[in-house]
Amino acid sequence: MRRLLALCLVFTTTACGATVAENTTATDPVTVKNCGQDVTFDRVPAKVVTNDTGIAELMFALGLADRMAGYVIGSGQTADLATSPFKSDWDSVAKLGEKINKEVVQGAGADLVFAGWNYGFSESTGFTPDALKELGIPTYQLTEACRNGVGKQRGIMPPLDALYEDLRNLGKIFRVSDRAEKLVTGYQEQIRSAEKLMTGKPRPKVFLYDSGLDQPFTSGRNAAPQDIITKAGGDNIFGDLDDSWTTVGWETVVQANPDVILINDYADGDNNTPEQKQKFLEGYAPLAAVPAITQKKFFVLPYAALVESPRNPAAIESFAKFLAG
């Protein structure tokens, strides 16, 4: 399996260990629009608790590790730390646990919880922005995971726009807007350069495989893989689904006849490694005639590169290089 590029993502913009030169102790209120609602922060948060690797790395990219009380990541995400360009930041911030809950954030003295729906927030566990508000703890929701008003479907804007929105909002909240804008500009330049790699070449159909044996878990048009695939020069076979991460049927995968399979390096309980996932896909009889299987066109990206995070631009670049061959 070709993993070299995927496991060695190269960042072309400075992101690690940033020194924040702007005023992070200001007490004047700042209002940002988050998931369609105006949210006001009376002061710069100083004890932030994050959930998920991508969310923590948004803080790291902005040089805000010293504003964090700690992070929570699940056991399936620990492999992300080995591929992270923010290793020193991970080392400098406390891990609070593998499951976020009220006790964890209260114990850390959190003055802000940064998470998202299905990225920590969940009605089933009672850990929601409203529940934290009752405890006097402010929240910021990951824009990729915003509910879009259709049941529990998520995603209110294109994935990269969600990334830029969060960077800019966090820049305002923490008074590091200059840093945020530099990151956005650098990412946009990196992506424009990557897009040129597939100019004039046929666009392969791509299936994002996260997990699932009976039914595959994949990405609709509102999750990060949508823009990673399309900006790299491919077409997401489930790009017409108005949702972020979602479950589909195998028959629709077979009918779509993908040319390439993009595998999420995430331990999901069924198949814990990319090699196990590829072995399952190659041995699943209904997929036997699919071009991606017959030609062994697999590519692997870390989980933290496939959710909204600072790794998205580098993921586009590495996948584009793979597709360009």
For residue 3, give the amino acid letter: R
Q: Look up residue 33 and give its two tokens.
A: 């629009």
Sequence-distant (6+) residues with CB within 8 A of 247 are 212, 215, 216, 217, 218
Average predicted confidence (pLDDT) for the chain: 92
182-207 confidence digits (pLDDT tens): 999 999 999 999 999 999 999 999 99
d(CA 41, CA 32): 8
Closest CA to 138 of 275, 37, 16: 37
| Contact between residue 15 and residue 65 where contact means Cβ atoms under 8 Å apart | no
DSSP SS3 for 313: helix
**Between β-strands 112-117 and 120-121, what pairing exists: parallel, antiparallel or unpaired?**
parallel
What is the bridge-based pairing of β-strands 139-141 and 112-117? parallel
Q: Which CATH number fits domain 197-324: 3.50.50.60, 3.40.50.1980, 3.20.190.10, 3.30.565.10?
A: 3.40.50.1980
Q: Residue 167 carries which side chain, given as an amino acid letter? A: L
Environment class of 102 (CB within 10 Å of its CB; exposed 0-12, middle 13-18, buried 19+): middle
User: Measured between alpha carbons, how far is 54 from 161 in angstroms, rounded to an integer?
Assistant: 15
Architecture of domain 4-191 in this structure: 3-Layer(aba) Sandwich (3.40)
Same fold, 4-191 and 197-324: yes
9, 144, 258, 297 from 71: Cα distances, Å: 23, 19, 37, 35
Task: Name the percent of the chain in helix, strand, coil, to the closest 5.
Answer: 40, 20, 40
Give me 3's structure tokens: 């993993």
**pTM exceeds cut of 0.85:** yes
- The pLDDT tens digits along the chain (325 residues) read 444 344 444 444 444 444 444 555 556 899 999 999 999 999 999 999 999 999 999 999 999 999 999 999 998 888 899 999 999 999 999 999 999 999 999 999 999 999 999 999 999 999 999 999 999 999 999 999 999 988 889 999 999 999 999 999 999 999 999 999 999 999 999 999 999 999 999 999 999 999 999 999 999 999 999 999 999 999 999 999 999 999 999 999 999 999 999 999 998 776 789 999 999 999 999 999 999 999 999 999 999 999 999 999 999 999 999 999 9
Q: Where in the chain are the domains?
A: 4-191, 197-324
